[in-house]
Amino acid sequence: MSPEFRTTVKIQNLACYAVSNLSLLMAFPATGYQGREFLWVTRIIADNVTCSLPNRTEFGAANSVIPLHPEELEHTDRVNCTNAGCQVVACQLQRLERSSEVTIHLLRAVRNEFFRKAKFKTVKIISSITLNVQEEDNLFLLPKAAHQRQVVLEIIQSKLVPLSLWILIGSILGGLLLLTVVILFLWKVGFFIHKKPGEDEKEE
C-alpha cells in the first residue's frame, strides 16, 4: 500500500472587493521512465471550488516529455515538469469575497517501488502552481510574479547499514569481559560471602 500525504493550497483575497472568474493550474511531477508512477494525486478535498483530475490514459497520451530513469536520480537533484511527466490539476473559482479564503487539500500517494530501484541520497520534487485572473472582470491585477508559486517536496532515501559479523562478535565478547571484571571485583570485596548461622554469636 502506497503511503499518502497532504498538500494544502490556500488562496486569500486581501483586497477590499470581491474577485471572480479565478482559475488555478497545478502541475505535479508524477511519472518517470516508461510511465512509471512515483507520485500521484489520488483525491481532492475543497469547498466552493470545482477541480478536475486527468485520468491516467489522457495524462499519458497528452504528455510529450521524456521522463528520467530511476538510475538517473543519482545524478539529478531536482525533478520537475522538464524531466518528468506531470499530472495537471485545474480548479475553477467562480467568486472570492473580500477578506475570505479558499483552501484546497490534495492527497498524494508515493509509489515506493520507483524509488527503491533508484540510488540517491536526496532529491527535490518541484511542483508549480499558477493563479490566473480574467482581466476584464477585475479592476486590480497582481504582479505577474505573484501569480506563480512552487511547492518543493524533498525525498530522502534511507539505507540499511550492514552490520559486520566481526563487529557483532566483538561487541558480545566485550560485554562478557566487562561482566567478568565486575563479578571479580564484587567477589574481592566480599559481596558473595555469606556468614553461616551462629557465626555472629561466636564472634560476640
pLDDT confidence tier of residue 11, bands split at 50, 70 and 90: confident
pLDDT confidence tier of residue 91, bands split at 50, 70 and 90: very high
Asked, for residue 201, whether it belongs to a domain, the answer is: no
166 and 150 in a common domain: no
Q: What is the mean pLDDT of residues 167-191?
A: 63
Q: What is the mean pLDDT of residues 89-102?
A: 87
What pLDDT score was predicted for residue 159? 63
Q: What is the mean pLDDT of residues 180-196?
A: 61
Asked, for residue 114, whether it belongs to a domain, the answer is: yes
In this predicted model, which residue has the larger pLDDT, 73 or 186?
A: 73
137 and 96 in a common domain: yes
Q: How far apart are CA 64 and CA 85, in angstroms?
A: 8
CB 122 within 8 Å of CB 154: yes
188 and 114 in a common domain: no
Q: How far apart are CA 80 and CA 184, in angstroms?
A: 65
Asked, for residue 168, whether it belongs to a domain, the answer is: yes
Q: What angle do CA 147, 89, 34 make, to 5 degrees?
A: 120
Asked, for residue 95, whether it belongs to a domain, the answer is: yes
130 and 62 in a common domain: yes
pLDDT confidence tier of residue 58, bands split at 50, 70 and 90: very low
Q: How far apart are CA 173 and CA 177, in angstroms?
A: 6
As for how many domains the chain has, the answer is 2
Residue 164 belongs to what domain range?
160-193
pTM for this one? Answer: 0.69
101 and 174 in a common domain: no
Asked, for residue 99, whether it belongs to a domain, the answer is: yes
79 and 168 in a common domain: no
Q: What is the CATH number of the domain that holds 53?
A: 2.60.40.1530
Asked, for residue 204, whether it belongs to a domain, the answer is: no
What pLDDT score was predicted for residue 183? 65
Q: How far apart are CA 43 and CA 107, in angstroms?
A: 5
102 and 43 in a common domain: yes
Asked, for residue 198, whether it belongs to a domain, the answer is: no
Give the DSSP letter string of 103-169: EEEEEEEE-HHHHHT---SEEEEEEEEEEEE-GGG-S----GGGGEEEEEEEEE---PPPPPHHHHH
22 and 122 in a common domain: yes
Start-to-end C-alpha separation, the chain: 78
Closest CA to 91 of 127, 64, 54: 54
182 and 91 in a common domain: no
Collapse the DSSP code of 78 into the 3-class scheme (helix H, G, I; strand E, B; otherwise coil) and give the result.
strand
What pLDDT score was predicted for residue 127? 92
Q: What percent of the chain has pLDDT over 90?
A: 8
Cell 543519482, residue? 74
What pLDDT score was predicted for residue 184? 66
132 and 174 in a common domain: no
Q: What angle do CA 147, 35, 106 make, to 5 degrees?
A: 40
Asked, for residue 75, whether it belongs to a domain, the answer is: yes
Q: Which residues contact residue 30 at a Cβ distance below 8 angstroms, ignoring those fewer than 6 apart? A: 37, 38, 39, 40, 41, 59, 84, 85, 86, 87
All three cell numbers of 136, joined, read: 476584464
113 and 15 in a common domain: yes
146 and 165 in a common domain: no
In this predicted model, which residue has the larger pLDDT, 186 or 71?
A: 71
